[in-house]
A and B are shown apart, each in its own frame.
Chain A
Amino acid sequence: MISVFAAALAVAFGAIGPALGEGRALAAAMEAIARQPEAAGTISRTLFVGLAMIETMAIYCLVIALLLLYANPFTG
């Protein structure tokens, strides 16, 4: 039961940072595209890669949550 709370906490707080970061990255990319529409392709590709990098943090949290839920080493 505790592991469920822990998993929820991990995902919840782990999502905050990447969410903020992705928001900033997306805003910057929007601005860049607005400034230079002809570079939209390169910018959006770089944006996706960057978002993936940022997302990695949230994914680690997800992994931990999943481990806690389905493969908790302490509860067997």
Chain B
Amino acid sequence: MESPFGAQVLFRVGPVPISPAVATTWGIMALLTLVSWLALRRATPDGGPVQTALEIVVETIEDQIRAILQRDPGRYLPLLGTLFLFLVTANLVPALPGLRAPTSRIETPVALGLIVFLSIHWFGLRETGVAGYLGHFLRPNPLLLPLTLLSEITRILSLMVRLFGNMMSHELILAILVYLAGFVLPVPFMVLGLLIGVIQAYIFTILATVYIGAAVGAVDS
């Protein structure tokens, strides 16, 4: 059983080692972009079923963002929507044989967590200004500043580790089950894995939205 940590190298591009996670991510990117482009290449107000499905997805995400942030989701949609779509796709990738979810390696959740971390402060600064945003850390009580700063880091840490832990541990359990019981018993667990993957994607996105909302002053988290 291989460690979830540590470098794997699929191939190298010059000096850069390309891990399977990166390759899978490229595939996911290509897939999402291609589907979007094909479905919306000639988008009309009364489009086909694929276009309508994509519209429903985007609009549902918009509605969720709007409900949490209580403002126009236009500025936040690209980041948060892409986060959700990418995570759902990435978490569902293990359904295909031979592929593993990029999120079950520590690097991808960390990268996403860092991006969310930076986005929180970026949106917070942009929305409330420098003074307002820095004052937001002192708001309940200036004495709590260290704790506030610590929670800023730990919540991102828990965000990334939650995603990584869920995906990795499920993969681990599947590996153990396959090792112990053969090839039929893991099937329900794989289905459960799909459910967990979608839920984790949802939770990751919702938490990122809530954190951003707290930063821009919409939610008191």
Contacts and interface: CB of A to CB of B under 8 A. Distances in A.
A46 B154 CA distance: 20
B162 A59 contact: yes
Interface string B140-157: 000000000000001101
A48 B4 CA distance: 27
Contacts of B5: 70-71
B67 A42 contact: yes
B158 interface: yes
B165 interface: yes
Interface string B52-78: 000000000000100110000000000
A59 B161 contact: yes
Given A41-B67, A42-B67, A59 B165 contact: yes
B68 A45 contact: yes
Contacts, number: 41
Contacts of B68: 45
Give the bracket for the number of chain B residues in contact with chain A: 10 to 19
B67 A48 contact: no
Interface string A42-62: 100100110110011001101
Contacts of A56: 154-155, 158, 162
8 contacts: A42-B67, A45-B67, A48-B203, A48-B206, A60-B158, A62-B165, A63-B161, A70-B5
Given A52-B158, A56-B154, A62-B169, 13 more contacts: A45-B64, A45-B67, A45-B68, A48-B206, A49-B207, A55-B158, A59-B158, A59-B161, A59-B165, A62-B165, A63-B161, A66-B165, A70-B4
